[in-house]
Structures are given as structure tokens and as C-alpha cells.
Structure 1
């Protein structure tokens, strides 16, 4: 049997023209339909083409990528190699090749450049896994393109991550609000990172009343009262559902007489510790939530509090002026817009979501 001769490194290297012809022929074979070539033959030819492109210049690699991009059965190692190459080479594979798997794209995301990740973020029907990997890099241009991709699938943990990142990257908020995957809890957490126009859209889309919950749980309230509210989880959920927002019992012992009285006192005394504690007690919300509303330099959170607790608009102004802020400002106009747009029930939904979140952090 004749023995294969070892490759002689002293032999003349094939000319670029010959190598280009060889690469084109190998790529043609790789692209043959499955009726013409077996998987094993395709893998062997793919391995040969892999060796050729690794030792070739950028232009030849780019032409191979253009040839292989439309193929659905090309060997994955070959596709991954081209898709991880310089962006001029990788671009056609990243844009048009449907044969790339999630595993392929995860490797490319980790080894590629910003341009690679930008192009992947635009691909059709991105899986939750790939979208999470792109989001984890935290590159604003990539994240923004991902959020604009309506066919991408975003898992709840990815949205949670991006809602948190919106604190530093305000451009995310408007894009997140439009995502169909967004849930009320995420939207109401995002609210605190938004400008007025985005806050208004969040309230418009996610603030709903609780009619169905109230109708379905009418008999649970007396049952829970009969047990002395002994189950803290039941008590917590029913506080969310309840029609009442104010703590009427607390008002009977309040030195201010009512929540209205606290607001009037706040205008003259300011946001003292006692005032904040009394708002918290009478409005039945966590103290840390009241502090957050007061610290917010826009007026929307306090307007939600007022509407949810049945306070008339002048009592918002009492609190606002008690914070040393002007009653004639853009913030007041924006707060009034929110106040007028919300029903009491919808405002209560928002306030109670915030309060549940504050309780969870306690």
C-alpha cells in the first residue's frame, strides 16, 4: 500500500488565485443539498474548508462567508469561525445565516466586538438565552437595539436586570415600557427612573382597577376577620385588594385629626419625622415609601398618594409647599396631569404595588 507523503513545508505555497478557486469549490460542496451529500461527507469537506480559511486573507474569508451565509446545513464550527472573525467577514453570517444555534451565538457574543453584538441584537426571533447574554454586557447601543427588536424574546430576569440598569441609562425606560413582556411590578419599579412622559405612559398602561379581585374576594374579608387576621400572608394580600386606603382607626388617635390635617401641618412645619410617620400611619403605607415620594423631585408620586387616599388637589399643594417647592412650576403641572388622569382605584393599585415592594425590602 502506498504511504501518504508528509506535507513538505518547503514546497511552494499555492497562489492566492488557486487557493480562492479551491475555497470556492469546497464551499460549493458544503452547500450541496442533503440529497447529494451525506452528513459525514459534508463534515469532512467543512474541515478542509476550515483549514483553508484559517490560513487565508480577509478578502477570501469574506467571500467564503458570503457564500455560506444562506446555507442551512453548513458545519457549525465553520460558521462559528467565520461569524467570530473580523466584522467584515462575520457580517453576512450574523445577518443572514439561520443555521447559527444559541450556543454558536453565545460564543460569538463572548468573543466578538461591539459590532458583532449589535448585529446579533437585530436578528429575528432571538431566544431568551441569547437576549440575556446581550443584556448582560451592559452596552447601551446593544441593549437599545435589542429592546427595539420586537421579535426578540426577553425573559423576566432579563427585564428585571434592565429595569435596574435604567437607573443609570435613562434611554432604556421608553423602550422597556413598549415591551409586551413587561409586567406591572417591573413597570412600577421602572417608574422611579423615568422622566414625566415615560411615567405617564407607565400609569396609563399598567394602572388598572381591582374590580375582579374585589368581587372574587368579598367573602374572604369577613372570614379573615373571623380568624382575627391570624394569617399574615392573607392579611398582606387583602390589604392590596381592599377598597379602603386610609387607616380610619389611626385617624381617631392622630394629633392632626386626619390625613388632611397632616398635609396642612406639613405646609408650615415641613417634612419632619413626625409628619412623615403620621402620613405613613394614616395612609397605610410604609414609611420608607413616604420618604421616597417626598425625596422625588417630580410631583407624580405624591399626586398618586393624594388620589389613592382621596385627598383633594389643594392638599397636594400643602405638601408640595411644605417641601419648600414652588406651587407654580412644570412639576406641579405634570403632577396635576397625573392626578386628573387616574381614578382612585387605579391610583390605589399603583400605590399598593409600591407599598408591597417597600414591605419586601423591610
Structure 2
């Protein structure tokens, strides 16, 4: 077939005037010409290709549109307008470009998710890479099939909010639990939440992942977390600094101290003492205390050997005003259901989750290789 802009103009005229059979044959020929490995096309040629292919595809039957979409899906320079048109077509046509075409940007994908049906959303969820903004849209608009595809897709990136939403959906959808458990980008606190309602085989998988952590490195991480905690203490009022520093120096950060701080309603001192006691940094300690399900708190207290009655005190003190007291009491049953050894294994994730802990663990590995009047709300900010 001859090349050049004049030939493309002739093809455009044929696309407008030819018979249906001729247009079908022409669509295949023009697609061949576009896909030919002869080098890059000029901007003018690409504009002609888009006009011709668009004209021809608009009059083609579904099977031929699918064939063309399949061939153009892997072309990085594919006409953007035509690819977008295919993406909004019936799913039989749209699927290859939704799954593979790099000509579709994040904004186009998000618009398609908002406007099209679940088949389109599911195809996007199966792309090689799914940016966090697109994953957010899938989580918002997708149903179980699309969410399953997204959860299984190791090329998908999740914002913290989307990851929390996926774990929340998994609570009610057993089919989502296995792929979510299998995600190694799942934050420790969410993996901890999954542990409580997944089936036994998945519980074992979660515990197995904790067994992959070197206990010696976890010990190093605990020391790094506590060092970081003391650095964070420097920004606190002098009274809090002095109290916690003295308790640490005297090795007096223990369960009895936590009980005393609850009774005396010394909120900020309790937060620091609790984090030090369980071996995490302050942000992780606050995350555990703020978990509305109290499940992370049950694990932390079980690991630290906190007595059930003191766990009950922490639960009741953590309860926000207006919360159902009966619900807070029911969570106490959870404490007995968490085996101590399982709690310890899960807690390793929390202790290894901070940058300070990870940095200290890396260093250790390198050295080793080389040689108010209402209920006290414990999760509030500074007093």
C-alpha cells in the first residue's frame, strides 16, 4: 500500500464512500499500515490515521471493532480519541484497551469507572498497573467482582483510605479475604484486623508471615521504637517529659503504672507509657488505642501480658462519649479468644512497621552479616 499524506487522504475518501464490505477490508488495511514496523508516524499522519480509523470503526460491526481494539491495545501511539471511543464501547470491544492500552490516562480511566458498567470497571482493575487514584475510583464504584480483581492485582496501588475500605468490605465478603490477606502492602494494623474474621487457614497465613520476621530484628526494632518515643517526648510539656523519663530510667513502665495513669486520668502520660510498654512508637500506639473495634488493643495487651481486668479498664477508658457501654463490655470476650502466642506473632508486624524500626533492623542485619470530666479518652491529643 502506498504511503504518505496523499494516500491517507485517498483512504479517508474511500472510508466515507465505499461499500460496507470495502470499508471492512479498508479498516484492516489501515490498521495494518498503522501497525507496520516501519518507524514512527508524523503528527500529520497520526491525525489522518485517527480520522480514517474513526470513520471506519464507527460503521464496523462489533466483531471487527473488537478485532481492531485488540490490535491497537498494545500500541503506545494509538490514536487517543479512537482508543477512548473503544473504551466506552460495549465491553466485548472495550476490554482489551481497558486492560492494556497506555493511551488511556488516569483521568480517562476514572471517568470511565464513573460512567460505565461493572464489566468496564473489572477490566480496568486488571490492568498491569493501577495508580492509587484509579484504585480509589474502583473501590468507590466497583462491586465484588471488580474488587476481587483489584485485590488480586499486585500492580495495584492503594491509598490508605482505599486500603481501609477494602478491608472493611472483606469483613462482609469472604471471597475478598484471601486476596487481601495475600497483599504484602497491607499495613500491619489492617492485617491485624483481618486476623479476627478470616477463616483458620488464612489466620495461619497471617501468622506465617509474622514468622518470616527474624525475632532478633524485632528486638532491635523495639529498641529503636523506644528511642524514637523518647525523641518525640521532647516536644511535650516539662511535666510529661519528666514523668516518663523518670519512669523509663527506673524501669517502672509496667502494667501497674498504666493502671495508675488511667485512674488519675493522665491521658498524655498514659499514651507514652502504653507505647513504651508494648514496644511501638507513639503513632502506632495511638493507632492501636484508636481502633474502634478494640481488636488491635486486645492483641497488644495480650502480647504484653496485661491482666483481663486492666484490659477492661483500658477499654472503658478508651470509649468515646456516647458509645454503647454494652458493646465495650462485649469486647472483653475477645481478649480471652486471642491466643497469647498468636498475639505475639501478630504484634511483630506492629513493632517492625516504623521507619525507625526498619532502619535499625537493616543496620543490625548489616552488622551481623559483617560480623476532662467525662470518660478518659486515651486517644485524644495533648491535654
The answer, yes or no, to whether TM exceeds 0.5 is yes
Deviation string 1:93-141 (CA, Å, 9 cap, x unpaired) is: 3344344333333333233322222222222122222222222214111
TM-superposition CA deviations, 1:285-317 (whole Å, max 9, x none): 99x989955xx8xxx9757534423549xx99x
Residues 198, 247 of structure 1: alpha-carbon distance in 2 compared, 3 angstrom cutoff:
farther
Selected match of 2:77 from 73, 77, 87? 73
3-state SS in 1 of match to 2:240: coil
Structure showing greater radius of gyration is 1
Q: Distance in 1 between matches of 2:163 and 2:184?
A: 11
Shift of residue 31 of structure 1? 2.6
Q: Secondary structure at the match of 1:85?
A: coil
Structure 1: which 5+ runs fail to align? 1-11, 255-279, 317-322
CA RMSD of superposed structures (Å) = 5.0
Aligned residue for 1:179, secondary structure, equals coil
Counterpart in the other structure of 2:52:
48
Q: Give 2:224's match in structure 1, choosing from 210, 213, 220.
A: 213
| Aligned-pair CA distance for 1:202 | 4.7
Q: CA deviation at 1:41?
A: 1.4
- Describe how 1:260-271 pairs up with structure 2 within 5 A: none
Q: How does 1:25-104 map to 2 (within 5 A)?
A: 25-33=29-37, 35=39, 37-104=41-108
Instruction: Return the offset for 1:341.
Output: 3.7
Instruction: Indicate yes or no: 2:182 matched with 1:181.
Output: no
- List alignment gaps of at least 5 residues for structure 2: 1-15, 264-269, 275-284, 313-328, 355-376
Question: 1:340 is matched with which residue?
Answer: 341
Deviations 1:306-352 (A, max 9, x none): 4423549xx99xxxxxx99xx9xxx99963xx3134449948968xx
Structure 1 residues 26 and 187: alpha-carbon distance in aligned structure 2, compared to 1, 3 A threshold: same
Residue 253 of structure 1: how far off its partner (Å): 12
Aligned equivalent of 1:162: 166
Could you say if the C-alpha distance between residues 127 and 54 of structure 1 is closer, same or farther in structure 2, counting changes exceeding 3 Å?
Answer: same
Offset of residue 245 of structure 1: 4.5
CA distance in 1, matches of 2:63, 2:232: 74
Match of 1:124?
Answer: 128
* Maintained 8 Å contact 1:304/1:339: no
Match in the other structure for 1:229:
240
Paired with 2:18 and 2:128, the residues of 1 have a C-alpha distance of 40
TM-score normalised by structure 2 residue count: 0.58
Deviation at 1:23, TM superposition (A): 1.6
2:207/2:345 contact within 8 Å kept: no
Structure 2 residue 151 is matched with structure 1 residue 141: no
**What is the deviation of 1:177?**
2.9
Do the aligned residues in 1 keep the contact of 2:207 with 2:342 (CA within 8 Å)? no
Measure the CA separation in 2 of the matches of 1:203 and 1:111: 41
Partner of 2:13: none
Deviates most, 144-153 or 167-176: 167-176
Partner residue in 2 for 1:359: 379
What is the SS of the residue equivalent to 2:172? coil
Higher helix share: 2
**TM-score (norm. length: structure 1):** 0.61
1:143 Cα offset (Å): 1.0
8 A contact 2:188–2:350 mirrored in 1: no
Asked whether the 8 Å contact 1:82–1:89 carries over to 2, the reply is: yes
Pick aligned residue for 1:106 from 110, 119, 129? 110
SS at match of 1:228: helix
Tell me by how many angstroms 1:25 deviates: 2.6
Distance in 2 (CA, whole Å) between partners of 1:289 and 1:155 is: 20
Q: Give, in whole Å, the separation in 1 of the partners of 2:228 and 2:252.
A: 11
C-alpha contact (below 8 Å) 1:109/1:116 kept by paired residues = yes
Alpha-carbon separation, structure 2, partners of 1:128 and 1:65 = 26
Cα distance change on mapping 1:187 and 1:17 into 2, 3 Å: same
User: Which residue does 2:27 correspond to in 1?
Assistant: 23
Total equivalences in the alignment = 295
What residue is the counterpart of 2:301 in the other structure? 305
1:225 Cα deviation after fit: 10
